[in-house]
């Protein structure tokens, strides 16, 4: 018997609650060579527009990791969106 019947993944639950897939490109300075930039890609489900998960990650970075942040570019997309309905003005006859 399958024990996973009716089990919903945590990622799906987050999407239903309004979370969307967030990707951040983080540029940071190399600790030993501050004139060089390195890139790091972070991806997680997060809430637009405040991005609490990303904010927590960046706070962790600044507190615990070497390599000062240079810039962060964020892309966000809700994967579950309201249905798009359009009214159709016309009459269609099928024979």
| pLDDT tens for the 95 residues of the chain, in order | 556 667 888 988 888 888 999 999 999 999 999 999 999 999 999 999 999 999 999 999 999 999 999 999 999 998 877 666 566 676 666 66
How far is 12 from 84, CA to CA, in rounded Å? 20
Task: For residue 77, list its beta bridge partners.
Answer: 21
pLDDT at 87: 65
pLDDT at 82: 66
pLDDT at 4: 66
> How far, CA to CA in Å, does 85 sit from each of 21, 27, 33, 50, 77?
24, 40, 54, 29, 20
pLDDT at 12: 85
Kindly list the domain boundaries of the chain, sorted by start residue. Answer: 10-77
pLDDT at 1: 53
How far is 62 from 74, CA to CA, in rounded Å? 18
């Amino acid at each position: 018997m399958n024990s996973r019947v009716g089990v919903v993944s945590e990622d799906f639950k987050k999407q239903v609650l309004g979370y969307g897939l967030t990707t951040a490109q983080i540029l940071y300075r190399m600790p030993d060579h501050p004139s060089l930039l390195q890139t790091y890609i972070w991806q997680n489900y997060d809430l637009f527009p405040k991005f609490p998960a990303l904010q927590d990650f960046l706070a962790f970075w600044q507190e615990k990791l070497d390599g000062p942040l240079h810039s962060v570019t964020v892309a966000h997309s809700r994967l579950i969106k309201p249905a798009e309905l359009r009214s159709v003005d016309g009459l269609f006859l099928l024979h």
